[in-house]
Amino acid sequence: MSEARSTDHASGRTRRDCRHRESPPIELWRLRGAKDELRGLAFETSFGYALGLELDAELVLLHLQPTLDTLVAYADRIQIALQAQGWALIEDSSIQRSRYVAR
């Protein structure tokens, strides 16, 4: 098995293969509760994908999913359940961004 990591001798750090680029998450939806906002985010990972739930600009859950279709279906079910409990969908995504989204 070949090793995909290499050592950066100048800094002494290990880095991943150059082809792997960390991409910013995609906001799937944004909801407002009684006090805070909750965002559903899609992250690309080495496993496949991950659904992130961000509450008040803090990532509180990262749930791995093998495909993007599975992730979107799961995120949709969460959004529908939360809206049924009183969370309101925020249409305007120009509101303050989290630290997880590239600026």
Model-wide pTM > 0.75: no
HEC string for 19-50: CCCCCCCEEEEEEECCCCEEEEEEEECCCCEE
pLDDT at 1: 47
Q: How far apart are CA 24 and CA 29, in angstroms?
A: 15
DSSP code, position 67: S
Residue at 79: amino acid letter? Q
Tokens 């070949």 found at: 2
- Give 94's pLDDT tier (boundaries 50, 70, 90): low
What is the pLDDT at residue 33? 96
**26-32/37-44 β-pairing:** antiparallel
The count of C-alpha atoms lying within 13 angstroms of the C-alpha of 13, restricted to the half-sphere facing its C-beta, is 4
Tens-digit pLDDT profile for residues 29-75: 999 999 999 999 999 999 899 999 999 999 999 999 999 999 999 99
pLDDT tens-digit map of 76-93? 999 999 999 999 999 875
pLDDT band of 3, cuts 50, 70, 90: very low
